[in-house]
Amino acid sequence: MEHTPIRKLLLKLAPPVMLSLLIQSIYNIVDSYFVASYSSKGFLALSIIFPIQLLMTALATGTGVGITILISKMDGEGKKGSQDHIVKTGIFAGILNALVFAFLGCILIRFYYSISSNILTVQNLGISYAKIIFLLSPGLFVESVCTKIHQAKGNMMLPMAALVSGAILNVILDPLLIFGYFNLPELGIRGAAFATVFGQWISMLIVLIPLLKRYDLRSKISKHILVRIYLLGFPSIIMQSLYTLYIVGLNLILKLFSEDAVTALGIYYKLQTFFFIPLFGLQQVIVPIISYNYATKKESRVNQIAHDSLFISYFFMLLGVITFWLIPDPLMKIFHADQNVLKIGRIALRIIALSFLPAAYNLIYAVYFQGTNRGGDSLKVTVLRQILLFVPLAWLLHYQGLFFVWFTFPLTEMITSSYCFYLKKHKCL
């Protein structure tokens, strides 16, 4: 592998990861499509809850990362001891996450919707959806933990099968439960919530049952291991949670103009998934490759990895730019956008698309810094982009009007790109 041409290596390793990320996105996209077909206010409610679902995913994935590191470290060091206590404690962590999120979520969700929308119907629809998602969240949290345990052991196929199975069930159940086909109850947005959690529970069972057979879970839950899981996973949780914060901030600013502006942003985040997934897949793939080559002092290969990753990223991002500029209306009509949303979204998508190429540069170099032992620089880039620029710039620009708010995206990415370029040039390998 160390002599394999970089581009060939990336094209071999990245597609399976991209597919997994795509499958994970299907839940939200499918729900959005069918809910938008049923109710425009329901779609707005989903757009508002989207950042909270991202927060749930951040906590679930970050906890799983902590478990993966523990198991991989133990295996790498050749320790032959039982890992039963790690697996049991990890599963307990998933259940604990679900309980905490359900408790806090059900308490705070009404306040969250009250500040996010002035439409009572939207608030009520969103609250009913969110409570189902929160109360039945063990499917998401435990599945994520179990998936990471399998991946730590080199089993990539079972988690993939679990995600595919969950996605298929979600796709089948969405129209049945939302519209009440075949004499089933017409549940509307609540049907979308049930379809999502049923899919998550099926995925959970597929990855959980083999672990129950392989490991003795009669062992005690270790408080020490539990603390280590969260400490190791904490950076990942924080990094992913920042994404949630800036989307919430943007939603609150857009609400000052209209609910349709919030809807337009929600549609954008559904559509951009298809172009950013290859980039996110590359991010996951190149970190270990960069780390290995950096450790072996193969500087030319490290730089080649960054160069080829950017080439692949730019290809997909350019497709996104062209698509958003040429056919914004047909894209938004997928989610049954009305004329006012189309008017707002048409402008928004074209302006935001200007950010795609510099965004690719920023996201690749954020993980490039991680892989070259410059985690501090990576964190600086992330904080600059998602905390110091996005929301403050949007707030300043909103005084000029809604049209100017959309320029937050290209301005943020261009400033961040300049900073990344500076860091790269002034701190050489």
The pLDDT value given to residue 62: 81
Q: Tens place of pLDDT for every residue, the chain, 429 residues?
A: 556 666 677 777 677 767 777 776 776 788 788 988 888 899 889 888 988 988 898 898 888 878 877 776 676 566 655 677 888 889 999 999 999 999 999 999 999 999 988 899 999 999 999 999 999 999 999 998 998 888 777 677 888 889 889 988 998 999 999 999 988 889 999 999 999 999 999 999 999 999 988 887 777 788 888 898 888 777 777 777 887 888 889 989 999 999 899 989 989 988 888 888 888 778 767 766 776 677 777 777 888 888 888 988 899 999 999 999 999 999 998 887 789 999 999 999 999 999 999 999 998 888 788 777 777 788 888 889 888 999 999 999 999 999 999 999 999 999 999 999 998 887 644
The pLDDT value given to residue 82: 66
The pLDDT value given to residue 383: 86
In the chain, the N- to C-terminal Cα span, in Å, equals: 22
Distance, in Å, from the CA atom of 382 to the CA atom of 369, rounded to the nearest integer, reads 11
The pLDDT value given to residue 79: 60
The pLDDT value given to residue 428: 47
Which residues are within 8 A (CB) of 140 and not within 5 positions of it... i.e. 6 or more apart? 56, 57, 60, 98, 197, 200, 204
Amino acid at 229: I
Q: Would you give the DSSP letter of residue 80? A: -
Distance, in Å, from the CA atom of 353 to the CA atom of 268, rounded to the nearest integer, reads 10
Distance, in Å, from the CA atom of 35 to the CA atom of 47, rounded to the nearest integer, reads 11
DSSP element (H, E) containing 211? helix 189-214
Which residues are within 8 A (CB) of 396 and not within 5 positions of it... i.e. 6 or more apart? none
| CA gyration radius, the chain | 22
Q: How far is CA 167 from the centre of its chain?
A: 16
pTM of the model: 0.80
Q: How many Cβ atoms sit within 10 Å of the Cβ of residue 377?
A: 20
The pLDDT value given to residue 429: 45
Ranges of each domain in the chain: 1-15+256-429, 39-234
